[in-house]
Amino acid sequence: MKRTTMFKVCCFITVCMAVSVWAFANMPGPDPEDLWQYITQKSPYTKWSFWPDHQGMQPGRAPHGPLHKVYVNDHAVNSAKPPVQYGAIAVKENYGEDKQLKAITVMYKVKGYNPDAGDWFWVKYTPAGKAEKFGKPGGCVGCHGTRAKNDFILVHEFE
Ligand code: HEC
């Protein structure tokens, strides 16, 4: 390889590494307050996408309530097959029959957080952002774990 080509390749690799370090440095830790800050201030989840097969308000099952919307960030929607990319976040707004927001449940894929169960960090927030449950709650992990092959995701089927 010519020296100039070598130099260009090295520059390219350095830039890629810097960008990925920067991107991850900007991601919250597995901490309910950091994550709330991130999804409401730094990267408001209401500006994210829906899965193509799960758009807008949808009927749901127990224990989450009768109606919901599931917002997903780029790391999630850009994942063509399970497991999804690290940094993926799904934010689920849970509504009552009266269309009032009752709770916000979140799954956040954090490298090394819980390798036995898909490395997901789970949180259930009140609409005001108070974390009622978080971490690796047995309920969340157990029920979503029935679809471990689909990376614990229930509303979207990867093809
Ligand atoms: C008894 C089963 C069950 C338990 C327990 C459960 N979930 Fe779910 N979850 C579901 C089902 C079913 C869906 C699909 C949407 C619906 O029907 O509401 C879902 C969807 C979700 C989604 C949308 C992403 C996806 O998987 O499609 C998130 C986020 C979520 N749940 C978070 C949580 C959190 C956080 C907890 C624990 C506090 C939890 N869930 C506990 C059954 C469960």
Tokens of 149: 């092959």
CB 36 within 8 A of CB 131: yes
Which pLDDT score is estimated for 21? 61
CA of 64 to the centre of ligand 1 (A): 6
137 lines ligand 1 (CB under 6 A): yes
pLDDT value of position 34: 98
pLDDT the model gives residue 159:
73
Q: Which residue among 50, 58, 64 has the greatest number of ligand 1 atoms within 8 angstroms of its CB, and so is best to mutate?
A: 64
| 63 cis-preceded (ω within 30 degrees of 0) | yes
* Ligand 1 contact, 110 CB (< 6 A): no
Whether residue 15 is predicted with pLDDT greater than 70 in this model: the reply is: no
92 lines ligand 1 (CB under 6 A): yes
- Residue 2: band (very low, low, confident or very high) from pLDDT cuts 50, 70, 90: confident
> What is the whole-number distance in angstroms between the Cα of residue 142 and the centre of ligand 1?
10
pLDDT of res. 57: 97
In this prediction, residue 73 carries a pLDDT of 98
26 C-alpha to center of ligand 1: Å?
26
Q: Hey, whose CA ends up nearest to atom 23 of ligand 1?
A: 92
Name the residue with the closest Cα to ligand 1, atom 31.
105
CA distance 9 to 111: 28
pLDDT band at 8 (very low <50, low <70, confident <90, very high): confident
| Mean predicted confidence (pLDDT) in 104-123 | 98
Query: 24-72, pLDDT tens digit by residue?
Result: 668 999 999 999 999 999 999 999 999 999 999 999 998 999 999 999 9
Between 90 and 13, where is the model more confident?
90
Q: Residue 18's pLDDT band (boundaries 50, 70, 90)?
A: low
pLDDT in the model for residue 23 = 61
Who's near 102: CB < 8 A, 6+ residues apart? 65, 94, 95, 96, 127
106: nearest Cα among 78, 68, 80, 79? 68
Supply the mean pLDDT for the chain. 93
CA–CA separation, 69 and 13 (whole Å): 39
- Ligand 1 centroid – CA 60 distance (Å): 9
- CB of 135 within 6 A of ligand 1: the answer is no
